[in-house]
Structure 1
């Protein structure tokens, strides 16, 4: 036994071909399906419509407005978070200011009562008067400190309010951009959808004029071949895989009956013959 063929499993040898015997052609056929040449050519029209539908779906998915809206919505969310933070800070400062002002008012009222007692001096010993004067001085210092707190809180509240106002404007501006992008996206989508509806109706008409078994084969091949189920044989080249048929393949196609559905050996797509096939 001679060496095994390098492209076959170990221990196997290629079949010897007797002289004068022609092996079957490699071109893939669909022996159980026959269709008039005109029906096969209509597959090219159907294929063109399917390609257009695929292009429209890609165009719809790839509209630049999609990415623009995502980016703008990210900015909008960030500005809204900053706005909420500024509004929260302003609200907190408002409560803190109200509390500090209440503390100032309480100290002021107490100091006023002590001053009235000091001014009257009725029934008070010199020691009590001295103690009252010291308390009034302490209250005055306490009031001053609290008033400083009020001023500091008011400044923080004012700054927070200014930031909130600025961020409110930014949110409105970005929201306007989002609304504009959404409107443009919706308009573009509506235009694409209208064309899809038109092409889909046209496809239904063309598909309805092609035999059911041929359509079934076309759809099956198209699903397995990247959306292209039928390709024209043009100048001895399959327009599906863009490969030129060799002489053996061409001879097999020449021998096939006109109503026989043949397929490309390389890409398995339905091979549609026309007057420009170069046969």
Structure 2
């Protein structure tokens, strides 16, 4: 592969191009992180789970309310029956045998009424508990949804900020690329595409910023021997190296 040459301004433009592409890649990665934000995703999942819990709690409340209504009606019917029997008993009349039967019925109804009143009380307590659970789930759901909305607003604002920054970077990148010969840009893009986003770097002392590792003395000597305007290549990554 032929050695490329570049003026001092072009070498700086190449380094600027790499720096800008690195920033653009970071901006893209940041946008991707926003799109897959774990906190927002968890808030959505929690809200969906709570919606299911709320539906189940409301169903349980309706059933508890029906049970409480039925138990109350049953207790009320038994109380009315007992009261009628009492009134007949207090009114007197009838044979001794009939009075004894009414007394027995009244006693039976008293016991039955106590059972029905207790059942009605327990049913009402169960209904109150079911209603309380609905309220608790509603409050938790509202809090999670509010948190999700706040997170979504933050992500939108952050996304807009990053997008604007990305547009600024893209404009600066176009300017940097315009200051370079087409063959240098083509070589840079080719290396960058196969090298994880690194197409150019600096040779500072004995270290290549493209690979992040020091070069051997023999490699350093070879690179230093190149003409001043020549663009070196990182022996490990193939990236264009600007000697500084």
Q: TM-score, normalization: structure 2?
A: 0.78
Cα distance in 1 for partners of 2:5, 2:102 equals: 117
Cα distance in 1 for partners of 2:86, 2:28 equals: 85
* CA spacing shift, 1:120–1:78, aligned 2, 3 Å: same
Cα distance in 2 for partners of 1:237, 1:132 equals: 110
Unmatched 5+ residue regions in structure 1? 1-29
Listed one character per residue, the Cα deviations across residues 169-209 of structure 1 (whole Å, up to 9, x for unaligned) are 34333433333233222222221111011111222232244
Q: Tell me the SS of whatever aligns to 2:242.
A: strand
* CA spacing shift, 1:215–1:85, aligned 2, 3 Å: same
Cα distance in 2 for partners of 1:170, 1:236 equals: 60
Q: What is the Cα deviation at residue 142 of structure 1? A: 1.5
Give the alignment of 1:35-114 within 5 angstroms. Answer: 36-37=6-7, 38-61=9-32, 66-70=37-41, 72-73=43-44, 76=47, 83-112=54-83, 114=85
2:107 — aligned with what? 137
Q: Which runs of 4+ in 1 moved over 6 A?
A: 119-122
Query: Which structure features the higher share of helix residues?
Result: 2
Cα distance in 1 for partners of 2:108, 2:44 equals: 56
Unmatched 5+ residue regions in structure 2? none
Does 2:129 correspond to 1:187? no
1:8 — aligned with what? none
Q: Is the 8 A contact 1:238 1:245 kept in 2?
A: no
2:116 — aligned with what? 146
Match of residue 250, structure 1, among 210, 221, 224: 221
Cα distance in 2 for partners of 1:188, 1:232 equals: 32
Listed one character per residue, the Cα deviations across residues 126-168 of structure 1 (whole Å, up to 9, x for unaligned) are 4344334322332232122111111111122223333433443
Does 2:197 correspond to 1:227? yes
Larger Rg: 1
